[in-house]
Amino acid sequence: MEILKIKNLSKTFSSEGKSLKVLDNISFTVEKGASVALVGPSGSGKTTLLGLCAGLDRTSTGEVYLNNELINHLSEDDRAAIRNQHVGFIFQNFQLLPTLTAIENVMVPLELRGEKNSKATAEALLEKVGLNNRADHYPSQLSGGEQQRIAIARAFSNNPSILFADEPTGNLDSETSEKIVKLLFDLNKEAGTTLIMVTHDLELAAKTQRIIRIKGGNLISDEKTA
């Protein structure tokens, strides 16, 4: 069963009368439970593509189906509701809320869903990423790698059916990185969470089932890994 389908997707940004085509006619589908790596040079459009797949932004042309629902034409509120229900997103720049503590950041998606035990669930997630002792710290009091792990705990919190991760190990030392990679793949295997990950680490990409390569806004290859 397909969880994500992208059809003839293009994205053009316009500012000050100039327009820049960042993604050009991209199409692919992802099966439920799959793991996919999205690779390509800096500036090739990976983050933009991930955001469009997750319904964070709207396409210029083309279609995005998430769980068989066409989402690219929906309003921001409707897309936000779908994201909260189905999608986990680990941002390249974390996007933690600066006025909330670590645990409060993890609790946000849970509270949006009206979960009763949001504090206990968030505590368990912080423990998973090895940060239960930093629950009451604010993002500005945490290192880059610690913020990344809070962002990962937050992305896990609503048991997403699809998890988008934008360079999830970009700021981590090799030992912490290994732990986080294990968490991501465990979630993929045990909960069947579909994993779509941007990475510059080709060793990590090779651990997924499939590698999609983007260059200059074009999809240049889409291959199963060995």
Ligand X SMILES: Nc1ncnc2c1ncn2[C@@H]1O[C@H](COP(=O)(O)OP(=O)(O)OP(=O)(O)O)[C@@H](O)[C@H]1O
Binding site for Mg ion (CB under 5 A): 47, 92
140 binds, among Mg ion, ligand X, none (CB under 5 to 8 A by kind): none
Bridge partners of 90, per DSSP, are 165
Give the CA distances from residue 84 to residues 118, 123, 126, 161, 219, in Å, rounded to whole numbers and listed in that order: 14, 20, 19, 11, 28
25 binds, among Mg ion, ligand X, none (CB under 5 to 8 A by kind): none
Contact 25, 10 (CB under 8 A): yes
Those residues with Cβ within 8 angstroms of residue 58's Cβ, 6 or more apart along the chain or in another chain: 52, 72, 73
Stretch that binds ligand X, among 44-52, 102-110, 130-138, 187-195 (CB under 6 A): 44-52
Nearest CA-CA partner of 9 in 57, 71, 39, 52: 52
126 burial type by CB count under 10 A (0-12 exposed, 13-18 middle, 19+ buried): buried
Q: How far is the CB of 73 from ligand X (least distance, A)?
A: 20
- For residues 122 and 165, which CB has a smaller minimum distance to Mg ion in the complex? 165
Q: How far is the CB of 40 from ligand X (least distance, A)?
A: 6
101 binds, among Mg ion, ligand X, none (CB under 5 to 8 A by kind): none
**Residue 213 in contact with ligand X, rule: CB under 6 A:** no
**Residue 202 in contact with ligand X, rule: CB under 6 A:** no
- For residues 139 and 170, which CB has a smaller minimum distance to Mg ion in the complex? 170
As a whole number of Å, the end-to-end CA separation of the chain is: 22
Tokens of 62: 């083309």
Q: How far is the CB of 222 from ligand X (least distance, A)?
A: 16
Judged by CB under 6 A, the chain residues 48 through 67 that form the site for ligand X are: 48
Judged by CB under 6 A, the chain residues 9 through 38 that form the site for ligand X are: 13, 15, 20, 22
CA-CA distance, 198 to 17, in Å (whole number)? 31
Tokens of 191: 């909960």
Q: How far is the CB of 197 from ligand X (least distance, A)?
A: 12
Binding site for ligand X (CB under 6 A): 13, 15, 20, 22, 40, 42-48, 92
